[in-house]
Amino acid sequence: MTMTARISASSSAADAARLLEQAIKAGCQDRQVVFMLGLAYKKLGRNLEARQTLRKIAEPDSHTHFQLGLLAFAESEFEPAEREFSRAWELLPDCYPAGYNVLLCRLCRGQLDAAAETIARLLVLAQSPADRETLQALDALLCLTPGKAEAQVSGNGRLDREALLGALNAGQEQRLLQLLARLQFEVAFPLLRELARVRPGSHSSREAYLEVLLLEGRQLIDRGKWEETRDLLAPHARAATEPEAENVPPRPTHTALLNMLGCCACMLQDFDHAVAYFTAALNKVGNDAWLHQNLALSYEWLGKIDRAEAHWNHYVNLINPRTPAPALPRYLETLIFEAQVRLSDVYFKREKWSKALAYLQRAHQHRPDDADTLERLFHLYSQLKKPDEARRALRRLRDLRPNDPQFELYELDIKEIRSVDDIDRLLGEVRKAVARFPNDLRVEERAAALIGNANSYLGQQYERLAGQLNRVADQMRRLPAYQINWPAVRDVLRDLQDDLLYLRRTANKCLALVHQDAQRRKLKDLVARIDRKIELCHSMRN
């Protein structure tokens, strides 16, 4: 039916409902008018009103019960639906559709014994050979399904039923599968499992069974039951990994099965098996963005970052406007951006600064006005000693966040420290910034980071000066007094003492700005060691 025809039918039903309502309000009590109004409501999708209207009929006939059964079945109310269809069948015993719907209701309710009894009655009424064949196949399947009274079939009876199911042609099998597809999962699952068992060479039966397996697996995954899902699906993994026959396209169910098993393996920390499952799935479809993503994550968790990088790049390259995605704004662009940022973070944690920078630059291209990305870029440029690029990033940051006080301290990050004088100037700038923005945690944290870098440099300078002093002391111990050039030694010791005094003053300035206990302890220890070397210089000079 075309869209125009559907609209026309809907309009006709609405017109009919309006006219029938007017007739009833005018006092018409004809049961046929009430029945037609119920049908009009049903046509319009107003099922509740349709049921209420049909129930007003004083002595409902078979047709009324049948329509009430259809309305209840549409709402998955199988018990009321069965009652209505059964009543319709009682009133019209030759009505095959009513009996068939009773069968469906009993199947949906899991009443397989009662369904088997219904089939015996229906076989007498069935006019079509196709209907009789489908009913006979269903009856055989019900009898073979474990756990039912009719399943206690042995010997020739069981063999006959298995032979009947095994001999189904493609059309007969398809009609049976279509019937089973209408049932609830709990009912269809054992029936399809049995059908797949007795028809091992049938792709259609195996695929239908695998589909319900995947549905069950999905329900288990939604409840976080990863081990149960793995145990349910793993026995079917071998068949899914077998190569497809020539000219047969890969089966989506096989790919989905392998993907679900890979996800279960990941959640159970079994990353080697996860890689194997995802790789098998990828080999079936050739290229798939989501499978590449899953493989990338699995390799990351295995610590094989180079292998992960290749799949991350495939993932990003495969995402395009045609990629299926939720109806969320800029969803695919966000995926690409987050993937690049993630790779940058992975390499940053491994101190592979150049690779981290390359991926962050790509992320920046997708979101040039993202301040967080620019801030990360600034720090990477600083780490890699690229002051010009760092200043450009900082200027853009100031445009995006003009009132952020910590950016004043970022400028100090770019300046290279080459002497204690540079440290002294740096501390002066930090002191001014902290005074301008008191109680600003971001400024305090940034200041602490700058002072931490300064402390490291002060420690290096101390080690250099202490090493020079130790060499002078070692020479004085080894040489006789008459061989020592005392004026030169005193000049060296005086210079070392002056440098140590300056270093101590600078360290004390750092100490005045530090609030973290760990940094204070480290600085106090450094000052104490400098004091001991100053005393050594003084004693050696005298």
pTM exceeds 0.85 for this model: no
10 Å Cβ neighbour count for 400?
12
Q: What is the pLDDT along the chain (542 residues), one digit of tens a residue?
A: 332 233 334 458 788 888 888 888 887 778 888 888 888 888 888 888 888 888 888 888 999 999 999 999 989 899 999 999 999 999 999 999 999 999 999 988 888 888 888 998 898 888 889 988 888 888 888 888 765 544 445 545 678 788 888 888 888 888 888 888 888 878 888 888 888 888 888 888 888 888 888 888 898 999 999 999 999 899 888 877 776 655 555 678 888 999 999 999 999 999 999 999 999 999 888 888 889 999 999 998 998 988 988 898 888 888 877 777 788 888 888 888 888 888 888 888 888 888 899 989 998 988 888 888 888 898 888 888 888 888 888 888 888 888 777 776 777 777 777 788 878 887 877 787 777 777 777 777 777 777 777 888 888 888 998 898 888 888 888 878 777 777 887 888 888 888 889 889 988 888 888 777 888 888 889 889 999 988 888 888 76
CA–CA–CA angle 138, 141, 147 (5° rounding)? 130
Burial class (CB in 10 A: 0-12, 13-18, 19+), 359: buried
CA–CA–CA angle 136, 190, 174 (5° rounding)? 45
Task: Quote the CA–CA distance of 210 and 256 in Å, as a whole number.
Answer: 10
Task: Quote the CA–CA distance of 501 and 430 in Å, as a whole number.
Answer: 22
- For residues 308 and 299, the answer to whether their CB atoms sit within 8 Å is yes
What is the distance, to the nearest Å, from the Cα of residue 183 to the centroid of all Cα atoms in its chain? Answer: 30
User: Half-sphere exposure of 174 toward its Cβ, with a 13 Å CA cutoff?
Assistant: 3
CA–CA–CA angle 74, 79, 81 (5° rounding)? 45
- For residues 400 and 374, the answer to whether their CB atoms sit within 8 Å is yes
Structure tokens at 176: 């049976």
Structure tokens at 251: 């089966």
Q: Which of 343, 341, 340, 342 is nearest to 316 (CA)?
A: 340
- Cα 101 to Cα 81, 179, 192, 496: the distances in Å are 9, 11, 20, 103
Q: Could you give the residue ranges of the DSSP H alpha helices within 319-405? A: 331-349, 353-366, 371-383, 387-400
Q: Which of 353, 434, 383, 382 is nearest to 394 (CA)?
A: 382
